[in-house]
Structure 1
């Protein structure tokens, strides 16, 4: 740590290097998200990126299909506590484990709120096969579109 670095007021970063590292972590447009979006787009589906499914919900989904009411989340294994890949950090484990626990609770709350509002919530882990994810998203959206199509007058 350099001697001239000062922690900004209200910052939790323990060092300048840690602060730079944490600021570099993307909250959207990660590689898994981009790849899944590309595959879904190639299937002819259009969607909103990093959008609020509900106007009064202060959370965004990675992909939102509004007319079909489908919200897609591609969760990072570390930040969302993947049961298969999450490893507790060695530095400041209490803070980070609590942070991941809060993220998981918020994810469940988001799922409940969207489901109550008539949405289908699809969650995928970043390590899942992108083609399988895209196929599942496409099938779900197409199925929902069939359900909400107006019946013809004939």
Structure 2
């Protein structure tokens, strides 16, 4: 079956912006290990997926499609001009958010969707390592 513009629009509209499976898995793993955090804190710039203000640490879990992963992103053939501009703007916004936290002295961690899928333990251990570095 060939995808039409309407089908793609409906599919894209159904994709969650927060509480994705990836985010839930990472948060659950951190919680199970005893780490407490805020999720999607709108008082912080860019509403990080995970944040701990006490340690000035924010974590973003970036979808390979929506954030233009250099390994996995494939530009849709239908309405490609729109999607190219959309993904470019998303990557620009990611850079702005990263710059903001770096300038403010925060630790910002970004993980690609495929990193979480390939080795969630490594991602969680990396987050815990940075929490523990702040907790010294």
Q: Same fold (TM over 0.5)?
A: yes
2:93 alignment counterpart: 106
Q: Relative to total residues, which structure has the larger helix share, 1 or 2? A: 2
TM-score, structure 2 normalization = 0.89
Match of 2:112 among 86, 105, 125: 125
Cα 1:131–1:41 change in 2 (3 A) is same
| Structure 2 gaps, min length 5 | none
1:37 alignment counterpart: 27
Alpha carbons 1:72, 1:121 under 8 Å: kept: yes
Larger Rg: 1
RMSD: 1.3
1:50 alignment counterpart: 40
Alpha carbons 1:52, 1:60 under 8 Å: kept: yes
CA distance, structure 2, for counterparts of residue 126 and residue 35 of structure 1 = 11
Match of 2:103 among 105, 113, 116: 116
How far residue 62 of structure 1 moved from its aligned partner, in angstroms, is 0.3
Matched, 1:78 2:47: no
SS at match of 2:49: strand
CA distance, structure 2, for counterparts of residue 19 and residue 141 of structure 1 = 39
Runs of 4+ in 1 over 6 A off after TM superposition: none
SS at match of 2:124: helix
Give the number of equivalent residue pairs: 129
TM-score, structure 1 normalization = 0.79
Q: Deviations over 1:109-146 (max 9, x none)?
A: 10010111111100001111211110000110111121
| Structure 1 gaps, min length 5 | 1-13, 147-154
